[in-house]
Amino acid sequence: MTESSAHHLRAGGISLVLDCEGDRLPRVLHWGPDLGELGAEDLAHLRLAAAQGPRAAGPDRPVPLALLAEQSAGWMGTPGLTGHRAGADFSTAFTVTGIRRNASTEAAVAETLTITAADRDAALELGLEVQMLVSGLVRMRAAVTNTGPGIFDLHSLDLNLPVPLEADEILDLTGWWGHERIQQRHAFTHGTHLRESRRARELDAAVVMAAGRHGFSWRSGELRAMHVGWSGNTRTYAERMNHAVGMLAGGELLLAGEIRLGASETYQGPWIYYSHGDGLDESAARVHDYLRARPQHPRTARPVQLNVWEAVYFDHDLATLKRLADIAASLGVERYVLDDGWFGSRRDDSSGLGDWVVSPDVWPDGLGPIIDHVHDLGMEFGLWFEPEMVNPDSDLARAHPEWILAARPDRWPPEARHQQVLNLTIPEAYAHVRDQMLAILRTYRIEYLKWDFNRDLIEAGTQSTGQASIHEQTLAAYRLMDELIAAQPGLEIESCSSGGGRIDLGILDRCVRIWASDVTDPLERQRIEAGTSLLLPPEMIGSHVASPISHQTGRTTTIDFRAGTAFFSHMGIEWDLTGASEDELARLGEWIAAHQEHRDLLHTGTVVHGDHPDDAFWLHGVVAKDHREAIYAFASVHSSRHTTPGQVRLPGLEPDRRYRVTQLLTDTAGRARRGSSTAWWDDGLTLTGRALGAVGLQMPNVSPEQQVVLHVTTT
C-alpha cells in the first residue's frame, strides 16, 4: 500500500484514515482518536489489520463499506445511492477517476479531500468532498451528475462513517412544539434505526444522532455523532449488520419525483457533519468550535434584547410600545424587537401574511415613530417577518392562488395556523416577497430580522407541474436570506420556526441566532437548551426572561430562576415590563448587568455539564478556554428523594490551579432554606481544580424550580 493509496486527515485530536487503494470508492480504516504520524508501512499494516475475510453464506470476497455504500460491492445494508433510469440502472458501481487533496485557506477547515468517480454503464458521475475541520469535526457531501441521455430519477444520496462494535447504544433527539430536542436512548442492535423528517422542520427530528458505549454521558464514554446540515427534509440512520459492521449515515430525504436529473444536470447533497468525543460535551465542543471559527460567526457582543411578543401580542399601541422601550433601555437592554402584527390586515394570526406593507390602521405614521424612539434610547431595532408563508385571507393569496405550494390546484394542504406556504420557486412569487422586504429595510433603519416559519410543509408541490418542491423551496429560502444580507450589510437574522423548528447548520450559515422554543418557562427551557447545546454554542441560542406566570405552562417561577436560566444563552426578555414591580425590575437589571459583564466568557468558553447521579438536580456551565474562570448553574428540576443534593463535582477546570468559588448573585431570599450560615456559600471557598472535579462540594438545598449560579475564578 503506497502513501497515495491512503489518506490520513488529522486535526483537533482526531484522525480519519481513508483506504483509497484500487478504483472503488474510499473505505474508512479509522475514524476516532488521533493516531499520530503514520508512514506508508503503517498505513499498509493498518489496512491489513482491518481486512475482513469471506463471510459464511456470503460473497467469496471481503465486502467493504465505502463512504457511499454500494450493493455492487456486496453491501446488503442500505445503499448510499438509489434511483433509476426508466427502471434500469438501479444499482451503481462507481470507479474512482481522481483524488485531490488540498490544504484549506478557510480558518475553520484543515484539509479537503475531493474524490471524483463514474459509473459508465449507469451514465452517472459522483463527486465526494471530505473535509477535516480544525476542531476535529469531519464533514462530507456528495454530488451526482447524469451524464447520459434521458432522465435519471434520484431517490436518495446518503453518506456514512462507520462505528465500532463497542458502540452499543444510540442517542438521538425528539420532541414537539414546546418540547424540542428531548434526548432518547435505546440499544444499538442489528438492523436500521431510521429517523425521517418530512415536515421541512426539526421540532421532532433527530437533529443529532450519536452511537457510543452503553451509558455514555456528558463527561465520559466514547461516542460518535452525526448531523445533517439541511433545512428541508432529512433522513438520519444508524445501521448494524450481523457481520458486526455498523454506521451512522444520512442525507436529504427526497420526495417521490423530486429530483429528476436531465442530461448534464447535477444534484448537490447537503453537508453531513460527524463528531467524535469522550462524552457528549467533547463531541458538542467540536461543533461549537467549528461554528465559532467560521467567518460569518458574530464577533461583536451579543446584545441583550427585548421581544415584545408576550408583552403585547397583536395589540400594537405606540404609547405602550414606547413605554416598554423606555423600561428596557433603563435596564440595559440593547436591542428591541417588534414582533408579529405590524403589517397588512394582521390583527390576529388569521390574515395578512404575504402583505409585507406597514398597516396604516395600526401605524398611521409608519414604523418611524417607534424605530426612532428605540434608536434614540441607544438600542438596535429588530422586526418580525414570516417570508415563506401566506394567509389565504390576504391580498397576495387572492391575487395569486397559484403561488401557494400544493400538490394540485384544486387540493390545497390542510391549513396550519390559518396559513399556507408561498412557493418561492416561482420567480414572480420570490420577487414579490423579496422586493417588499427590501422596501421595508430600505425605508427604515433595521438591524435585525426575526425570521419565522410556522407550519409544516404538507403536500408541498408546484401546482402547475404537480411535482414535489421542498428541495427547491429550501434553496430558495437560503437564496432569499443571502440576498437580503448582501443588500443590507450588517443585517442579522434570527431563525424561528414555531420556536426551535429550524436550527440546523444549513440555516446557520445565514442566521446568527435561533429561538430555541416558544416555551419560555425556565424549567422546560433547562431540558430544551441542554438538547440544543449538543449542536449549538450558547451565543446562538435565544433564551428570554418571561413573566412570573408562564404563558405556555401556567407555572409560576422566581425572577432568579427565570433570569438565571436565560443568563447562559443569548439573553433576552419576553415580558410585559410595564406590569413588573420595582423589585422585579431591579433584580432583572442586576441579572442583565451580570450577563453583560460575563458574556465574553459565556459566549466563547467551553460548555460543560455535570453527570450528577440524582436526576432531580442539573449542573451545567461554561469554562473559559484558558481555564482561568468558569460559571456554573446548579438547578433543582424536580423534588429529590434525598434531603440534600450531596457532593457536586465541577467539571472542566484545570487540575493544578487553585480556584475561588462564590455565588454570582446571592439569593438572600433562599438562604434560610440552605442550612447553616457557616456553610461555604456565605463567604466562598478555595480549592484546586482537581479537588473540585473529583471531590466536589456540597450544594445548598435548593427547592424545585430554583438554582444557584456559581462564579469560579483563579486565585
Asked if 422 and 354 touch (Cβ cutoff 8 Å), the reply is: yes
Among the residues of 390-426, which ranges form H helices?
Answer: 395-399
Asked if 19 and 44 touch (Cβ cutoff 8 Å), the reply is: no
Q: Which entry of 518, 521, 576, 667 is annotated as an active-site residue?
A: 518
Stated length of the chain: 715
Q: Which entry of 281, 339, 452, 504 is annotated as an active-site residue?
A: 452
- What is the CB neighbour count within 10 angstroms for residue 483? 14
Q: Return d(Cα 187, Cα 195) in angstroms, integer.
A: 15
HEC letters along 525-580: HHHHHHHHCCCCCHHHEEEEEECCECCCCCCECCHHHHHHHHCCCEEEEECCHHHC
* Residue 1 DSSP SS3: coil
Q: Return d(Cα 461, Cα 425) in angstroms, integer.
A: 10
CA atoms within 13 A on the CB side of 133: 23
CA atoms within 13 A on the CB side of 89: 23
Q: Return d(Cα 217, Cα 600) in angstroms, integer.
A: 27
Q: Return d(Cα 496, Cα 483) in angstroms, integer.
A: 19
Q: Is 372 a catalytic residue?
A: no
HEC letters along 112-156: EEEEEEEECCCCEEEEEEEEEECCCCEEEEEEEEECCCCCEEEEE
Asked if 238 and 211 touch (Cβ cutoff 8 Å), the reply is: yes
Q: Is 281 a catalytic residue?
A: no
Helices 318-331, 582-602: crossing angle, 10 deg rounding = 60
**Residues with Cβ < 8 Å from 586, sequence gap 6 or more?**
none
Active site positions, annotated: 452, 518
